[in-house]
Structure formats: structure tokens, C-alpha cells
Amino acid sequence: MDKAYNTAKNQDFDIENVQHISPGDALEMCREGKARFLDIREEADRDVEWLSYTDILYVPLRTLPDKLDVLPGDKPLLVVGKNGVDSTKAVNLLLYQGFDKAINVDGGLFAWRKAGLPLKDILPKPCGDCSSCSDC
């Protein structure tokens, strides 16, 4: 958790006492076996776009309060969502439930994609010729 910080850098939403970690540092921690990813997005969102990583726990935010017993407490849980808002709320909930190693992946999948980290999706690739695509 030495790479965690107290104020979000990649998103506007923050909650006091919730720590954040950059997507790149989160991936590094998981690859080193020092943490686990917890994806709290709904299934429909996960079916469109997902982290290109094999060891991910999937628990939608709406079911998280009922699934606390399946979450490991031995390693930090790096919580990822679409843009960091829901995952910040999820970390806050986890902290109140005794998961003191829960950390928000700052900026969620938006920041993950922007950092060029491994991602799989079924989205059409931007063409680069228009002004209507946010990624062009």
C-alpha cells in the first residue's frame, strides 16, 4: 500500500479516508501478487470492456454488501469501476466493514485506457477523422 495516495488525481469524486492508486501501480501490485483486483461494475459493462488480467474478483456494487464473506482479507483489494466514482464508494463501504486494505483504482477503466494498459473490449476503434469520438 506504499504506492497509495490520499487525494484522487484521475477523477473529480473523492471521499475522505479513501486511498487511491494509479492504474499502472495497481497492475504492478497485482502482477507481483501483492494485491487483488475487485471489479464492481455491472455484468453488462464488464461484457463490453474488461481488464486484460486473469485474477479478478467480480462483485457488482449493488450486491457488494451481501458478498462481503467471499472477499479475501489477506491482501489489498484494488477496487476498479468505470470512472472511479462507484469504486470510491465501494472502498468506503469496505473500509466501514473492516476491509482496511481496500484501495480505489484512481479514475477506473477510463484512466486505465488512457494509460494504455492491457484492456480487452468489443468497442469499435476510433477512426481519428471526426470530432465526435472522445478518444480521437
Residue that wins the pLDDT comparison between 131 and 92: 92
Structure pTM? 0.85
The CATH classification number of 20-121 equals 3.40.250.10
Half-sphere exposure of 44 (CA within 13 A, CB side): 0
pLDDT in tens, 73-117: 899 999 999 999 999 999 999 999 999 999 999 999 999 989 988
Q: Are 40 and 87 in contact (CB under 8 A)?
A: yes
